[in-house]
């Protein structure tokens, strides 16, 4: 069994982004800029936003944070997004989800210029992913693919099972595996014989949001297990959707929590923001 080290792979991605950013500054005088909008004071969101800010510093981007109060109205938020769409020094706009209940996150995402939608949540970018002709990929699924490539894990012809059908992870994850010729099954709360379906998987991706949901009987001997979950167990300790201790000995590869998929999400966000800066300035790689 080999651990897939997300910290290591994300450091490589960020190093690559940093070098390309230096080149962009030297050759074209352009510094990529990312605007992060956070509404309210959700503690998990605050941690993510701080991590994004640190990553921007590490790769040499400019970052702007807009921390809005909980009672911000839909009009105020959409007005800010419009302003950011028009700022030429901002290449990427990210609105931290979840938003407070009274705000319509769908309307906010649709208000972001698709060329600045570095989360790849806008319907235009989602459509491009379906067609396989995308500029940006959603950060978490793209991070998972980066890890598979980094460890030379082939997808073509493999049985791939994704547990979870969210728009942020499950669905795009399935599409990316399909684009690389995996045979993909998406499982969810209504799936019959879930354990049996999962136990057929050569590559199993758990994105269900339930602590230690994937148990050893659901994993095929020698499978690659990717844990996208970020949960707390009964003792309040950070864990994933996979029961790591009991599953690890059956796998050929497995991602830990923390230190697996998490760091990759932010590294991919940096990659997307750099790409956005190049596209908006008509600079080809």
CATH of 29-113, one of 3.40.50.2300, 1.10.940.10, 3.40.50.10860, 3.40.50.720: 3.40.50.10860
The C-alpha atoms of residue 31 and residue 12 are separated, in whole angstroms, by 20
pLDDT at 285 over 80: no
Q: Give yes or no for a contact between 253 and 2, defined as CB atoms under 8 angstroms apart.
A: yes
Least confident segment among 97-101, 112-116, 159-163, 221-225: 97-101
Assigned superfamily of 139-262: NAD(P)-binding Rossmann-like Domain (3.40.50.720)
> Sorting pLDDT into bands at 50, 70 and 90, what band is 177?
very high
Residues of the chain with CATH 3.40.50.720: 139-262
Write out pLDDT tens, residues 181-212: 999 999 999 999 999 999 999 999 999 999 99
For residue 262, pLDDT over 90 is answered with: yes
Label residue 43 by pLDDT band (50, 70, 90): confident
Q: What is the mean pLDDT of residues 72-98?
A: 97
**How distant, in Å, are the alpha carbons of 24, 107, 136, 281 from that of 277?**
9, 24, 12, 6
Q: What mean pLDDT is reported for the chain?
A: 96
Looking at 62-214, list the stretches that DSSP marks H as alpha helix, in order from N- to C-terminal side: 74-86, 105-111, 123-131, 139-150, 170-179, 194-198
pLDDT at position 33: 98
pLDDT on residue 44: 83
User: What band does 110 get if pLDDT is binned at 50, 70 and 90?
Assistant: very high
pLDDT at 137 over 80: yes
For the chain, how big is the Rg over CA atoms in Å? 19
Model pLDDT for residues 233-251, shown as the tens digit of each residue: 888 899 999 999 999 999 9
What span, in angstroms and rounded, lies between the C-alpha atoms of 60 and 171? Answer: 32
Catalytic residues: 52, 96, 119
Rounded to whole angstroms, how far apart are CA atoms 120 and 277? 15
- List, by residue range, all CATH 3.40.50.10860 domains of the chain: 29-113
Asked if 270 and 13 touch (Cβ cutoff 8 Å), the reply is yes
| Alpha carbons 237 and 239: distance in angstroms, whole number | 6
Exposure string (b/e) for 163-196, b if CB count within 10 Å is 16 or more? bbbbebbbbbbbbbbebbebebbbbeeebeebee
What's the distance, Cα to Cα, between the start and end of the chain in Å? 37
pLDDT of 47 higher than 80: yes
């Amino acid at each position: 069994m080999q651990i897939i080290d997300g910290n290591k792979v994300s450091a490589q991605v960020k190093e690559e982004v940093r070098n390309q950013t230096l080149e962009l500054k030297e050759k074209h005088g352009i510094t990529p800029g990312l605007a992060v909008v956070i509404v309210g004071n959700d503690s998990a969101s605050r941690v993510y936003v701080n991590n994004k800010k640190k990553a921007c510093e590490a790769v040499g981007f400019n970052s702007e944070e807009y921390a809005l109060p909980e009672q911000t109205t839909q009009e105020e938020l959409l007005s800010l997004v419009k302003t950011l769409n028009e700022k030429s020094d901002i290449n990427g706009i990210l609105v931290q989800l979840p938003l407070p209940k009274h705000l319509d996150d769908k309307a906010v995402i649709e208000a972001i210029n698709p060329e600045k939608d570095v989360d790849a949540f806008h319907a235009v970018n989602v459509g491009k992913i379906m067609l396989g002709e995308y500029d940006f990929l959603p950060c978490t699924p793209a991070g998972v693919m980066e890890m598979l490539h980094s460890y030379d894990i082939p997808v073509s012809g493999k049985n791939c099972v994704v547990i979870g059908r969210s728009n942020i992870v499950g669905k795009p994850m399935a599409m990316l595996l399909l684009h690389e010729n995996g045979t993909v099954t998406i499982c969810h709360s209504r799936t019959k014989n879930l354990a049996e379906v999962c136990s057929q998987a050569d590559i199993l991706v758990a994105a269900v949001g339930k602590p230690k949901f994937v148990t050893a009987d659901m994993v095929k001997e020698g499978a690659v297990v990717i844990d996208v979950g970020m949960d707390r167990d009964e003792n309040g300790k950070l864990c994933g959707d996979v029961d790591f201790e009991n599953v690890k000995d059956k796998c050929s590869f497995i991602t830990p929590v923390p230190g697996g998929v998490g760091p990759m999400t932010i590294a991919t966000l940096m990659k997307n923001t750099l790409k956005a800066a190049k596209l908006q300035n008509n600079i080809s790689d």
